[in-house]
Amino acid sequence: MSNTQAARWLALNALDAVVNGSGSLDANLAKMAADDLAPAERSLARMIASVTARHWFQLDAVLTGLMPKALREKDQIIRTLVLTGLGQLAHSRQAEYAVVTETVALTKRLKRPWARGLVNGVLRNYLRERPRWDAHHPDAVAYYNHPQWLIDAVRAAWPAQRTDIFAANNRRAAMVLRVNQRRFSRDDYLDLLAASQLPAQRGIAPDAIVLDEPINVHQLPQFADGAVSLQDTSAQWAAGLMDLKPGQHVLDACAAPGGKTCHLLERQDLDCLAIDLVESRLGRVHENLARLGLNAQVECHDAAEPIDGQFDRILVDAPCSGTGVIRRHPDIRLARDPQQVADNSALSLRILNNLWTNLKPGGRLVYATCSILPDENDTLVARFVKNTVDAQVGDCAIPGGIPQSCGSQILPGDDDVDGFYYAVLLKSPEHLEQTE
């Protein structure tokens, strides 16, 4: 098997696992890649898998038109294989001959030689009438390129913005840096980028820089020495909303991979505890802290279960559907469903109720998600505030954010940023006065 065919095999299996409810695309690509697969082939696999996931529902409508007869359940991987081929033909610069030949060849690797003619025929028929099929949008799912449940949810929550949201989700995200203010000012780092012939612009957040074109992180000046990190502009508002003071005792719940933990520590000298439920994810937190030269206590702990200590500030980066970052993780549209949204909402409310007991009177808790769905965001926070006598809603004004009853919602695509929700909750100090 050639190296490029190995890349296509990796992309196919990573996508097939996502479709069957196993793991994320990023995790599957990392886990399934052969140790000897070269960086160029890993990049090719990522491109193929990402392009296919990004355009999945449009491609699926085309495939249904080209192959109206349904495959048997046990042969659904052939459908995924054809979709990867269509994705490359429609949305990449790969040579058409190579795409068709190597996609067809994978039927042998799948031990389904009967599918060889089917795959070849579908891909070549697409190429013969490409303009027709590229315009083939028989229903809302194909037109908006989103699953029906998500179309309905976005229409209900954001009727005026729905078209812009769908369009933003279908585009690639910009590459955004967060400058480590302990090392450089933003303007000084922009000068470094210019000297390296890497065009970039200031982002709307104070520490944000947006690159004109994505590059390998190791091409960034002094990346290995902690000068900058990758973090979308929307995620960078958390540190400012925390209103940090030197020496405060801070808890970052659901902290992995550690981007927000590090941003807090770049801003202030803190006594910081970072926790996450999944032990394997904490390695990334340690790596980021080490690269940036920062220190925090890192523990594996379930944020929904009791934890020792009282904190001046708590950041809850709550589990959510990720519907605000589909443009960055296109497989989300394949992997989520309404039940997961309901489950995430219930878990996040448990986390809020649990950690509120760890917040000092007069303290501040920032609740954040990368979701655009009210059930995970403002509806949930409003329910918590209504049932928590010492919880007050604090100021949460964010540039580009849409004010909500309890927080602020950023929608994907506005200022070319990810979708995010924030709420600031203040714990009343009144009971302290009553005991004096």
User: pLDDT tens digit string along 47-88?
Assistant: 999 999 999 999 999 999 999 888 999 999 999 999 999 999
Which residue among 262, 272, 370, 406 is the active-site one?
370
**Does the annotation place 406 within a ligand binding site?**
no
Catalytic residue check, 370: yes
* pLDDT at residue 414, rounded to an integer: 74
Predicted local confidence at residue 270, as pLDDT: 97
222: region left, alpha or beta (phi > 0 left; psi from -120 to 50 alpha): left
Does residue 317 have a known ligand-binding role? yes
Residue ranges in the chain modelled with pLDDT below 50: 433-436
Q: Which pLDDT does position 413 carry in this prediction?
A: 80
Q: Is residue 232 part of an annotated ligand binding site?
A: no
Domains of the chain, CATH where assigned: 3-145 (1.10.940.10), 175-230 (3.30.70.1170), 233-427 (3.40.50.150)
Is the pTM above the cut of 0.75? yes
- Whether residue 257 is annotated as binding a ligand: the answer is yes
Q: Phi and psi at residue 7, in whole multiples of 5°?
A: -65, -40
Note the pLDDT of residue 434.
44
Tell me if 235 is assigned to a ligand binding site. Answer: no
Cα separation, 320 vs 143, whole angstroms? 26
Whole-number pLDDT of residue 431: 54
Structure tokens belonging to residue 409: 């919602």
Q: H helices within 223-377, ranges in order?
A: 237-241, 259-267, 282-292, 332-335, 338-356
Is 131 annotated among the ligand-binding residues? no
* Integer Cα distance of 234 and 256 in angstroms: 17
The single-letter code of the amino acid at 189 is Y
**Residue 29 and residue 10 in contact, taking contact as beta carbons nearer than 8 Å:** yes
195 appears as a binding residue in the annotation: no
Among 307, 312, 419, smallest CA distance to 368 is for 419
Distance (Å) of CA 301 to CA 147, 220, 280, 317, 351: 34, 34, 12, 14, 12
